[in-house]
Amino acid sequence: MTSAMVLLYYSPSGKPLQWHHKVVLEAAARAIANLKGYDFGGHYDPTHEYFGSLFFVPGDTLLLDEASKLGIRSLYDLYGGIVPHLFVKTKAITHGLVDRHAERPLGWSTTFANRVQDIVLRGYTAFSNRDAHAAAARLLARGPIRLKKPLSASGKDQTVITTLDEVDAVLEKISPKEMATYGLVLEENLRQVRTLSVGEVAIGNLSVGYHGIQRTVRDNEGRPVYGGSELLCVRGGWDRLELLPIPAEARAAVRAAKRYDEAMEEFHGFSASRRNYDIAQGIAADGRPRSGVLEASWRVGGASSAELAAMAAFVHDPALQIVHASHVEEYGERRRAPADAIIEFQGEDPEAGPLLRYTIVKPQCGRDSGHWHALPPSAISSDADNRVIRFGSRRVASGRPNWGKTPISHSGPDCSPVPDLSKYERAESEDDYRHRMVINAIALVFVSLLSVAGFWLVNAIAHS
C-alpha cells in the first residue's frame, strides 16, 4: 500500500445521502488526492490495516470519538469538521431555548446562543412539543414563522405557518425520540429573501476564503431547493476577503459569519477545515430589512465543488489571488452544461430524478496584479508531507470532474479593478459622425476668434 492516501468515510451517525451526493463526494475526494499528491484509496475499511499518512473526506460532520478512532489528530487530516455532540452539527444550535425550563440535550450551550443572538434571525430551538408550542405562540405574535427540521439541507423539510394548529400538524409527524435528539427550529419568516454564502476552507497550508450568493431552483417535484452558488474566492482565508472592495451587504455577511465561527469555541472539541455559513437577507413581517445567519456546514456541501475547483486554480498558478467559481444544479431532462464547465453529475438519480451538476471557474487576478501580487503565495502541504504538485497535459475523463488534475482552461485573468465595460460599446452611426464634425467646426471657429482677439489685444497694448 502507498504511504499517503485520501479515503472516503461514511459516518454511522451521518444522514443518508442520495446517489448524486455520493458521486460528487467521491469526485471531491479524488480532487483532494490530486491537490495533495496522494493516492485515492476508495472507501475506508475498518478491517484493513493502513500505513502512512491518511486524509479523510467524510460524508458528514464527525463526532469527537469517531474522529479519534480514525486516527484524525488535526485539521491536516480531514476535509470537514468535528463536533462534541450530535446536535452541534445541525442548525439546532443557531437559536436559543424558549425559557430556562426548556428541554435541552446534554452539552447544550446557553452561552453560545447568547453570543450569536444578534446575528441570527428571531427564533428558538425546541426539544419538546411543549417548548415548540410556547416558542411558536411567541413568534406568531409578530407574523408568519418557518419551521425547520435541523437535519435537513438544501431548503427541504421547511414549512411556513401562520397558526398554532399548523404547528400541531407538523409536530404530529415528528417522533418524540427525533424531537428529543435533534429538536425543531422555529424562526421568523422573511420575504424577498436572498441567501449569501461565506466560508473558509483549508487543505494543508492552503486556505481559501469566499463570499457569494446562492441560487434557488425547482426540483423535479416542483419544490424550491438549492440550485448552486456564485462565489468570489480569495487566497488566504476570509481575513483577506475583508480587504477586497466587496459590497456592504457582503461585508456584513462576512463579519456575521466570523462572529458565529468565533462563538463555536463554546463547544469544546469543535474544529473544522471546512467552514461554510449561510446568511439570509430579506424583509421581515414588520416591513424592515433583516439579516441573520441561518446555519453552518462543516462537511462536503453544495459549494464544495466550487471551493475545490478554486483551490486547483490557486495551486496551478501560485501568483493567482482571486477566482470566481460558479456551482450549478439543474433538474429535469435535456439539461446541458456550458462547454467550459466541469461536469460532476449528469444523469438519473434514483431519488432526485434527472439532474445536472457542474462548476465553472474563472481566475480574476493573476501575476503582476497590484496589491494582490504582494500577498505571499501558498502551496498545498501538511505537517506530514511537503510534496510538489505536478500537472500533466489536459485530459478529461468522461463523466469525471478534473479538479486539481489539469491546468484550468480560461481565456486569461481579468485584473481590472472595475467591471467589464464592453457591454457599453456600440457601433458608430452616420449621425454620430455628422454630429462630431459639426462640434469640431464650431470649436475651430471659436479658437480662431479667440486667437484674433488675442492678437488685437497684444497689438493695442504695444501701441498704447
Q: What is the pLDDT of residues 66-124, one digit of tens each?
A: 999 999 988 899 999 999 999 999 999 999 999 999 999 999 999 999 999 999 999 99
Is the distance from CB of 197 to CB of 177 less than 8 angstroms?
Answer: no
* Radius of gyration of the chain measured on its C-alpha atoms: 28
pLDDT-derived band at 447 (thresholds 50, 70, 90) equals: low
Nearest to 42 by CA among 14, 21, 60, 22: 22
Q: What is the pLDDT of residues 269-325, one digit of tens each?
A: 999 999 999 999 999 999 999 999 999 999 998 889 999 999 999 999 999 999 999
Per-residue pLDDT, averaged over 325-332, amounts to 95
Per-residue pLDDT, averaged over 348-370, amounts to 79
Write out the three cell numbers for 261. 465561527
Per-chain mean pLDDT for the chain: 83
Is the distance from CB of 51 to CB of 1 less than 8 angstroms?
Answer: yes
Per-residue pLDDT, averaged over 244-249, amounts to 91
User: Does residue 365 register a pLDDT over 90?
Assistant: no
Is the distance from CB of 96 to CB of 119 less than 8 angstroms?
Answer: no
pLDDT-derived band at 378 (thresholds 50, 70, 90) equals: very low
CA-to-CA distance for 269 and 298, rounded, in angstroms? 14
Q: What count of other Cβ atoms lies within 10 Å of the Cβ of residue 334?
A: 6
Q: What pLDDT score was predicted for residue 423?
A: 38
pLDDT-derived band at 238 (thresholds 50, 70, 90) equals: confident
Is the distance from CB of 290 to CB of 283 less than 8 angstroms?
Answer: yes
Per-residue pLDDT, averaged over 13-17, amounts to 81
Is the distance from CB of 348 to CB of 245 less than 8 angstroms?
Answer: no
End-to-end CA distance of the chain: 106
* CA distances from residue 18 to 63, 78, 261, 355, 459 in whole angstroms, order as listed: 22, 22, 28, 12, 93
CA-to-CA distance for 440 and 63, rounded, in angstroms? 76
pLDDT-derived band at 16 (thresholds 50, 70, 90) equals: confident
Place of cell 452558488: 229
Q: What pLDDT score was predicted for residue 442?
A: 74
pTM, two decimal places = 0.78
Nearest to 342 by CA among 371, 309, 320, 296: 309
Place of cell 450568493: 213
Host H or E run for residue 39: strand 39-43
What is the arrangement of strands in the sheet containing 289-297, beginning at the earlier edge strand? 289-297, 274-283, 191-203, 206-218, 224-235, 322-331, 353-365, 342-349
pLDDT higher at 29 or 427: 29
User: Does residue 125 register a pLDDT over 60?
Assistant: yes
Q: What pLDDT score was predicted for residue 167?
A: 94
Write out the three cell numbers for 308. 475545490
Is the distance from CB of 360 to CB of 313 less than 8 angstroms?
Answer: no
- Alpha-carbon torsion (8, 229, 246, 409), positive or negative: positive
3-state SS, 198-224, equals EEEEEECCEEEEEEEEEEEEECCCCCE
User: Does residue 386 register a pLDDT over 70?
Assistant: no
Q: Degrees (nearest 5) of the Cα angle 213, 216, 220?
A: 150
pLDDT-derived band at 370 (thresholds 50, 70, 90) equals: very low
Q: What pLDDT score was predicted for residue 382?
A: 44
CA-to-CA distance for 451 and 272, rounded, in angstroms? 75
Place of cell 444578534: 118
Helix (H, G, I), strand (E, B) or coil at 7: strand
Write out the three cell numbers for 38. 496522494
Q: What pLDDT score was predicted for residue 302?
A: 85
- How far is residue 287 CA from its own chain's centroid? 28
Host H or E run for residue 185: strand 184-188
Domain boundaries, the chain: 4-86, 428-464
Q: What is the pLDDT of residues 220-235, one digit of tens each?
A: 999 889 999 999 999 9
